[in-house]
Amino acid sequence: MRRFVWIWLTLLGAFWVVRTLVSAATFGRVDQGYGDLVQLVLVPAGQAVLLWWVTREARPTPRQVLRALITPWLAAFFAWDTAIAALGWLLPESPFFTLLGGWNLAGLHNALQGVAAGAVVGLSAVRGRWTLGERTWLALFALWLPAAGLSFLIPWLGGLPERLLLALPAALAWPAVYGALYVLSVGLVLRVQLIWRERAAAPAWLLDLAVALSLVATAIVVLNLARHPYLAEPWDPIAHLGAYWAMTALFLGAYRAFGLGRPEA
């Protein structure tokens, strides 16, 4: 996933620069409509997926991935997690089952996942045999996980741009604050993924899955907010579902990684 992110960001920058220069030189203007934004997001993403797949080094089969990820207790947890997601999708109007966050089943579920995952990663960082740099990154990850999980239950991120960047209009403050937080979060997850990948494949794959799901949810949010000041149906529940499953992948990755730093791991 680290390679994919770098490939995508490189192609995104190159595509934006070339399209801007060609439009300015050919038509004397640079179109900035909704269709242009869709192309800017989706075209480099599609190219990055193809390039990453063709040039990837390790080629694990789906059977190898499933064998590494699936254990009896993980299968049972996944069934429970899927049931909550299905109820939220089928009953979007229900305050108790909705996936849109708040004090409900999905919100409590994700908050508990974040707190539990943070506790496991923190315990692993303290008890395991890690280098000082690895222990620092794991400690930061352990602090970040509960904050990420609790954001589903308590909207503590709401209004943050207005409080931090009072002088900027909302159209600039929101991308600046939330964009920076998202980039830092993805960077932290990918750094921990690199630490775990040196010892076991399954936890690293789960963190890769979490980043991939978050990228899909983020792309949906960006494309919708560029056209409306809200998430239009049916994209709102889809974006929340992506974030919901990303939190689940982080939780499962944390538990599969528990004990990697011990001598016998």
pLDDT tens digits along 153-187? 888 877 777 777 777 666 667 777 888 888 899 88
Residue pair 15/207 in contact (Cβ under 8 Å)? The answer is no
Q: Give yes or no for residue 117 having a pLDDT over 60.
A: yes
Query: What is the pTM (predicted TM-score) of this model?
Result: 0.77
Give the per-residue pLDDT at 265: 40
For 19, residues 6+ apart whose C-beta sits below 8 A from its C-beta are 36, 39, 40
Give the per-residue pLDDT at 57: 60
Residue pair 150/108 in contact (Cβ under 8 Å)? The answer is no
Q: Is 53 left (phi over 0), alpha (psi -120 to 50) or beta?
A: alpha
pLDDT band for position 133 (50/70/90)? very high
Give the per-residue pLDDT at 188: 93
Top mean-pLDDT range of 6-10, 79-83, 120-124, 198-202: 120-124
Helix (H, G, I), strand (E, B) or coil at 231: coil
Residue pair 125/139 in contact (Cβ under 8 Å)? The answer is yes
Domain extent listing, the chain: 1-57, 60-256
pLDDT band for position 66 (50/70/90)? low
Give the per-residue pLDDT at 264: 45
Residues 188-198 have a mean pLDDT of 90
Q: Give yes or no for residue 90 having a pLDDT over 80.
A: yes
Give the per-residue pLDDT at 256: 85
Q: Is 167 left (phi over 0), alpha (psi -120 to 50) or beta?
A: alpha
- Secondary structure (DSSP) of 63-76: HHHHHHH--HHHHH
- Secondary structure (DSSP) of 165-197: -TTS-HHHHHHHHHHHHHHHHHHHHHHHHHHHH
Q: Which two tokens stand for residue 36?
A: 């242009």
Angstrom distance (rounded) from CA 110 to CA 147: 11
